[in-house]
C-alpha cells in the first residue's frame, strides 16, 4: 500500500515538473508567434525528445571521428572495439546519473516556487543545490575547463581538415580564419535554437563515417601493411583515453535537458544516441585501420591518408560545418556561465549578450594557436578533464546525494529493479569511480602527458603547420 502511494506521489511530482515546463514554453511561444513564422519555429525552436536525441548524437561524434583510426593504431583492432563498447556504455550510465540529479534538483526547487523562466540550469548549479558550494566550485572548474578545451579542439580540427582541401595557407592561418567564423556562435541564444543544426550535424557525420568506411575498402590495404598495435604501453593508454574522451561528450547534458519540454523523458536518450554513434565509429575506425595499419601512428587525421576525390572534399566540408556546430555546443554553456557572472544572463537584448560573449572566444582562439596538436590533445583533455567532469564527479555526486535514507525514500526517480535497486546502483557507481580514476586519470594521464610533451618537443608550441608534409 505504501509503495502504491509513493508511486502515485512520484507520478504527481513528475507531472508537476513537466507540466510547469510545458506551460512555460507555451507562454514563450505564444508571446513570440507574432514575430516568428511557423517555419522559423520548426527550424529554430526545439525541445522534443527527438531534438534532444539529435543534440546528443550530433555533439558526441564530431572531429573525434577522424582520430579514432589513430587510436586503433595505438590500441590494436580488438582493444579498440572493446574500449568503444565499454566506454560507450559507461558514458551512457553517467549521463543517466546526471539526468537523475537534474530532475531531483529541479523538482526540489520548483517545490520552493523557484521560476526558471529566463534562467538556464547548469551542472554546477545542480551540484550547488544538492551538495553545497564546494561541490559547485569543483564542478564549475572541471566543466568549464573541459568545455574550453573542447572548443579549442574543434577549432584545431577545422584548421586541420581544411588544409586537405586548400594547402595554400598553413594550419595556423586557417585557425585565425575559423576562429572568426566560430565567433558567430555568440548569436545563438540557447540549446533550444540548435534544432536544425543538430539534425544537419548528424547527417554530416553519418556521411563522413560511411565515406571513411567505403573509401578505405575501395582503396584496399597499402603495400606491406602492418598492424602491430598495441606495441607500447604509453600508446595503448593514450589511445584508450581518446576513446574515453569520445564518449565523454555529455558535459552539456543539463543544458540539453533544460531545453526539453519534458526533461524527465531524457533518461535513455543518451544511450540511444550512443548506440547510433557506435554504428558510425566502429565501422569507420576499423576500416581505416585495416587499410593503413601503422601508418596511422604518424597521421592523427584519417583524411590525410585517403586520396583526394570529390567524395573526400565533400566529407571535409561537411565536417567543417559540423565542427562549427559542435563549437557552439561546447561554448554555449561557457557563454551562460559568463553571462551569470556579469549579471547579463536574464537580459532580453540578444545583441548585448552576444557582445559580452565574445570575451569567451578570445582565449579559445589563442589556445588553439598555442597547442595545435590534433589528436594528442584529445587524449590529454580526456585523461585530465573528462575523467572528472563526466565520469567521477557525477558518480560520486549521485552516491552522496542519496546516501541518507530520507533522500532515497523521497527520491523523484528510483533505481530500476533490474540493476539491483540502490545497492546495485552504488556498486556500479563505485566501479565507475575506481576504474576511471585508476585507468583513465592514472594510466591515461601518464601516457597522454608523455605523448603531449613529445609533440611539444618535436613540433614546438605555436607550430605553424602541425604534421604537414614538406613541400618540395
Q: What is the pLDDT of residue 92?
A: 94
Q: What are phi and psi of 311, to 5 degrees?
A: -65, -40
How does DSSP assign 94-133, residue by residue? HHHHHHHHHHHHHHHHHHTT---TT----HHHHHHHHH-H
Mean pLDDT taken over the chain: 85
Q: Of residues 288 and 31, which shows the higher confidence score?
A: 288
Backbone angles phi, psi at 406, to 5 degrees: -65, -40
In this prediction, residue 43 carries a pLDDT of 63
Across the range 386-395, mean pLDDT stands at: 94
Q: How far, in Å, CA of 86 to CA of 66, rounded?
A: 20
The proportion of the chain whose per-residue pLDDT surpasses 90, expressed as a percent, equals 43
Q: b vs e for 55-85, b when ≥16 Cβ sit within 10 Å of the residue's Cβ?
A: bbbbbbbbbbbbbbbbbbbbbbbebbbebbe
- At 38, is the pLDDT very low, low, confident or very high (cuts 50, 70, 90)? low
Closest C-alpha among 98, 101, 434, 103 to residue 248: 98
Q: Which residue has the cell 504527481?
A: 12
C-alpha cell at 112: 520552493
The larger pLDDT score, comparing residue 348 to residue 415, is at 415
Residue 352 banded pLDDT, cuts 50, 70, 90: confident
Compute CA 66 distance to the chain's CA centroid, rounded to the nearest angstrom: 15
pLDDT at 219 over 90: yes
Residue 22 predicted with pLDDT over 80: no
On whether the CB atoms of residues 287 and 72 are closer than 8 A, the answer is no
- Name the more confident of 365 and 16: 365
Distance CA 442, CA 320 (A): 33
The answer to whether residue 15 scores a pLDDT higher than 60 is: no
Confidence of residue 45 (pLDDT cuts 50, 70, 90): low
Residue 427 pLDDT exceeds 60: yes
- pLDDT for 432 equals 97
Which CATH number applies to 64-459: 3.40.50, 1.10.3470, 1.20.1740, 1.10.287? Answer: 1.20.1740
Q: If you average pLDDT over residues 287-302, what whole number do you get?
A: 92
DSSP state of 35: T
Per-residue confidence (pLDDT) for residue 41, from 0 to 100: 63
Poorest-confidence range of 29-38, 135-144, 444-453?
A: 29-38
Among the ranges 7-16, 25-34, 191-200, 274-283, which has the highest mean pLDDT value? 274-283
| Beta-carbon-side half-sphere exposure of residue 396 (alpha carbons within 13 Å) | 17
pLDDT exceeds cutoff 50 at 25: no
In this predicted structure, what is the pLDDT of residue 470? Answer: 64
The yes-or-no verdict on residue 285 having pLDDT over 90 is yes
* Per-residue pLDDT, 255: 84
Domain map of the chain by residue range? 64-459
Asked whether residue 230 carries a pLDDT value surpassing 70, the answer given is yes
Which residue carries 567505403 as its cell?
A: 214
293 Rama sector, left if φ>0, alpha if ψ -120 to 50, beta otherwise: left
Omega of the bond prior to 202 within 30 degrees of 0, cis?
no
Contact 302, 374 (CB under 8 A): no
Query: DSSP 3-state assignment of 375?
Result: coil
pLDDT of residue 110: 86
pLDDT single digits (tens) 126-183: 999 999 999 999 999 999 999 999 899 888 888 888 888 888 888 888 888 988 888 8
Q: pLDDT: is 346 or 253 the higher one?
A: 253
Mean pLDDT calculated for residue range 27-53: 63
Spatial separation of the C-alpha atoms in residues 287 and 387, rounded to whole Å: 28
Asked if 151 and 327 count as a contact pair (C-beta separation under 8 A), the reply is: yes
Q: Is residue 301 very low, low, confident or very high in pLDDT (cuts 50, 70, 90)?
A: confident
Q: Is 356 exposed, middle or buried (0-12, 13-18, 19+ CB in 10 A)?
A: middle
Amino acid at each position: 500500500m505504501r509503495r502504491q502511494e509513493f508511486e502515485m506521489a512520484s507520478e504527481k511530482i513528475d507531472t508537476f515538473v513537466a507540466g510547469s515546463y510545458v506551460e512555460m514554453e507555451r507562454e514563450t511561444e505564444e508571446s513570440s508567434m507574432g514575430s516568428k513564422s511557423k517555419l522559423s519555429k520548426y527550424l529554430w525552436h526545439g525541445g522534443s525528445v527527438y531534438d534532444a536525441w539529435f543534440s546528443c548524437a550530433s555533439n558526441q561524434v564530431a572531429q573525434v571521428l577522424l582520430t579514432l583510426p589513430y587510436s586503433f593504431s595505438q590500441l590494436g583492432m580488438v582493444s579498440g572495439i572493446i574500449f568503444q563498447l565499454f566506454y560507450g556504455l559507461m558514458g551512457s550510465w553517467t549521463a543517466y546519473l546526471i539526468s537523475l540529479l537534474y530532475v531531483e534538483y529541479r523538482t526540489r526547487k520548483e517545490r520552493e516556487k523557484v521560476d526558471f523562466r529566463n534562467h538556464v540550469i547548469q551542472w554546477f548549479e545542480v551540484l550547488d543545490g544538492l551538495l553545497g558550494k564546494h561541490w559547485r566550485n569543483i564542478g564549475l572548474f572541471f566543466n568549464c575547463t573541459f568545455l574550453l578545451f573542447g572548443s579549442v579542439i574543434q577549432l584545431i580540427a577545422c584548421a586541420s581538415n581544411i588544409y586537405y582541401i586548400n594547402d595554400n595557407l598553413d594550419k595556423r592561418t586557417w585557425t585565425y580564419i575559423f576562429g572568426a567564423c566560430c565567433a558567430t556562435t555568440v548569436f545563438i541564444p540557447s540549446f533550444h535554437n540548435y534544432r536544425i543544426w543538430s539534425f544537419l550535424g548528424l547527417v554530416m557525420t553519418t556521411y563522413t563515417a560511411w565515406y571513411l568506411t567505403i573509401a578505405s575498402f575501395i582503396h584496399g590495404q597499402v603495400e606491406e601493411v602492418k598492424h602491430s598495435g598495441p606495441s607500447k604501453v604509453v600508446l595503448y593508454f593514450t589511445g584508450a583515453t581518446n576513446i574515453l574522451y569520445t564518449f565523454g561528450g555529455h558535459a552539456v547534458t543539463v543544458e540539453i535537458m533544460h531545453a526539453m519540454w519534458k526533461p524527465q523523458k531524457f533518461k535513455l536518450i543518451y544511450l540511444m544516441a550512443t548506440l547510433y554513434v557506435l554504428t558510425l565509429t566502429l565501422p569507420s575506425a576499423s576500416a581505416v585501420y585495416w587499410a593503413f595499419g601503422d601508418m596511422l601512428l604518424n597521421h592523427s587525421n584519417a583524411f590525410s591518408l585517403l586520396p583526394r576525390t570529390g567524395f573526400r572534399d565533400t566529407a571535409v566540408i561537411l565536417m567543417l560545418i559540423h565542427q562549427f556546430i559542435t563549437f557552439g555546443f561546447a561554448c554555449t554553456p561557457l557563454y551562460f556561465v559568463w553571462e551569470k557572472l556579469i549579471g547579463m544572463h536574464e537580459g532580453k537584448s540578444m545583441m548585448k549578450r552576444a557582445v559580452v560573449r565574445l570575451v569567451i572566444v578570445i582565449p579559445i582562439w589563442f589556445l588553439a594557436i598555442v597547442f595545435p596538436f590534433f589528436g594528442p590533445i584529445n587524449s590529454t583533455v580526456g585523461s585530465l578533464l573528462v575523467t572528472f567532469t563526466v565520469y567521477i564527479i557525477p558518480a560520486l555526486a549521485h552516491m552522496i546525494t542519496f546516501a541518507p535514507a530520507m533522500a532515497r525514500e523521497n527520491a523523484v526517480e528510483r533505481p530500476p529493479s533490474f540493476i539491483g535497486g540502490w545497492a546495485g546502483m552504488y556498486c556500479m557507481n563505485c566501479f565507475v569511480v575506481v576504474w576511471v580514476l585508476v585507468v583513465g586519470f592514472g594510466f591515461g594521464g601518464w601516457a597522454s602527458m608523455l605523448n603531449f610533451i613529445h609533440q611539444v618537443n618535436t613540433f614546438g608550441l605555436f607550430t605553424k603547420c602541425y604534421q604537414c608534409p614538406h613541400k618540395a
